[in-house]
């Protein structure tokens, strides 16, 4: 089951809101110029677009233009990247009651970009963003209460803010509400409610939400076990570039759970998951090559994927790397190296890795 998500550091460009028609027309043109310039890689057009945003922010106190200009400085689009200037414009947008400006300003303090990292100050801006009905602010504030960053850990408050984010159709907020109900944190454990929030998150194209509904159907928690429905949700999660969704979909095909066993499709989904840096997917892909399941056995390729899995802290990848070195499969036998990988898998919670580490240690390796 997925863990509670941490705050997203991504700065998003806000669409132009309502207000003076002439002002909005100019901003729309500026934003369109940015998009066209991105496509054409035309730096001069980007500069012109930012100049329009600058004029509107400075002369018209247009909060949308200020936030957009902050975005340009934060990402270096059409201007030299400058976090200090990004903060200046985000702050002006926030003071003009632009919710996303407050959200972006909070992210700057949370990540220490252009300012000293300051969780309490970040939370202040997240709270203002939330009060201005910007869902990302509510979501991030909920995370802060969940993790105890800049505030005392408080699951009920995390629930309150995630619920508001969800009501504002912020998918990550719905997903986190599902986590709270799954784990019974700040609320009574309730798989049925968890499912409803995951489902809303999924409908808002949140891949994590789709994945977790798939897990509920696969495990039969709160719903009747149904591999066919699990497959449907894993497919949507994978389509939304959720690595675990691709991995679990591949697993259904590998073991023929609710569908016809198909190693070729399993390999395809594991490859996609691994390309998205899902360690479990890399581990499973390595095992297909190690054991020659549906493909020609290839210890060298197995080693490559186990190495990536281990680098991504997938304990199985570290363990099987240890096995390869322990037995000399595709590599020169080296029990000292094997012990190192067993040790890492042990540190990541793999009991078999701990046992193998202990045995090699007792043998003097």
Would you kindly state where each structural domain of the chain is located, as residue ranges? Answer: 1-132
Class of domain 1-132: mainly alpha
Residue 43: per-residue pLDDT = 47
Per-residue pLDDT of the chain (365 residues; tens, 9 = 90+): 333 333 332 233 222 222 232 333 334 444 554 444 444 444 455 578 888 998 999 999 999 999 999 999 999 988 999 999 999 999 999 999 999 999 999 999 999 998 999 999 999 999 999 999 999 999 999 999 999 999 999 999 999 999 999 999 999 999 999 999 999 998 999 999 999 999 999 999 999 999 999 999 999 988 999 999 999 999 999 999 999 999 999 999 999 998 999 999 999 999 999 999 999 999 999 999 999 999 999 999 999 999 999 999 999 999 999 999 999 999 999 999 999 999 999 999 999 999 999 999 999 99
Positive/negative CA dihedral, 25, 76, 36, 276: negative
Residue 49: per-residue pLDDT = 84
- Calculate Rg over the CA atoms of the chain: 24
Which CB contacts under 8 angstroms, 24+ apart, belong to 140-146? Answer: 140/7, 140/8, 140/103, 140/106, 140/107, 140/110, 142/173, 142/176, 143/4, 143/5, 143/6, 143/7, 143/176, 144/7, 144/119, 146/4, 146/176, 146/185
Residue 222: per-residue pLDDT = 85
CB contact at 8 A, 341 and 319:
yes
Q: Is 181 left (phi over 0), alpha (psi -120 to 50) or beta?
A: alpha
Residue 215: per-residue pLDDT = 93
Residue 348 DSSP label: T
CB contact at 8 A, 133 and 114:
no
Residue 31: per-residue pLDDT = 52
Residue 212 DSSP label: H
Calpha distance 216→228 (Å, rounded)? 12
């Amino acid at each position: 089951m997925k863990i509670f998500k941490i705050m997203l550091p991504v700065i998003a460009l806000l669409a132009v809101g309502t207000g003076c028609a002439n002002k909005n027309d100019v901003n729309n043109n500026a934003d369109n110029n940015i998009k066209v310039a991105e496509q054409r890689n035309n730096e001069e057009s980007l500069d012109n677009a930012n100049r329009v945003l600058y004029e509107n922010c400075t002369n018209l106190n247009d909060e949308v233009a200020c936030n957009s200009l902050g975005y340009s400085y934060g990402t270096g689009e059409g201007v030299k990247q400058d976090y200090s200037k990004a903060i200046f414009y985000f702050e002006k947008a926030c003071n003009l009651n632009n919710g996303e400006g407050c959200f972006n300003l909070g992210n700057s303090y949370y990540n220490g970009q252009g300012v000293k990292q300051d969780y309490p100050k970040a939370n202040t801006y997240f709270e203002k963003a939330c009060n201005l009905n910007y869902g990302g602010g509510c979501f991030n504030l909920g995370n802060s209460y969940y993790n105890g960053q800049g505030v005392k850990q408080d699951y009920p408050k995390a629930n309150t803010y995630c619920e508001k984010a969800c009501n504002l159709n912020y998918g990550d907020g719905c997903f986190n509400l599902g986590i709270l109900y799954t784990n019974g944190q700040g609320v009574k454990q309730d798989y049925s409610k968890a499912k409803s929030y995951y489902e809303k998150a999924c409908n808002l194209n949140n891949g994590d939400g789709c994945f977790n509904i798939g897990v509920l159907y696969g495990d039969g928690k709160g719903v009747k076990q149904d591999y066919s429905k699990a497959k449907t949700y894993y497919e949507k999660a994978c389509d939304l570039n959720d690595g675990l969704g691709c991995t679990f979909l591949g697993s259904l095909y590998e073991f023929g759970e609710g569908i016809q066993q198909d190693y070729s499709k399993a390999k395809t989904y594991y490859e996609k998951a691994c390309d998205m840096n899902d360690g479990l997917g890399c581990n499973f892909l390595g095992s297909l090559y190690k054991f020659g399941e549906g493909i020609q056995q290839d210890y060298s390729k197995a080693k490559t994927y186990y190495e990536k899995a281990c680098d991504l802290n997938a304990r199985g990848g570290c363990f099987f790397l240890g096995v390869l070195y322990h037995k000399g499969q595709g590599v020169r036998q080296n029990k000292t190296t094997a012990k190192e990988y067993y040790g890492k898998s042990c540190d990541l919670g793999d009991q078999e890795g701990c046992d193998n580490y202990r045995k090699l240690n007792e043998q003097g390796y």
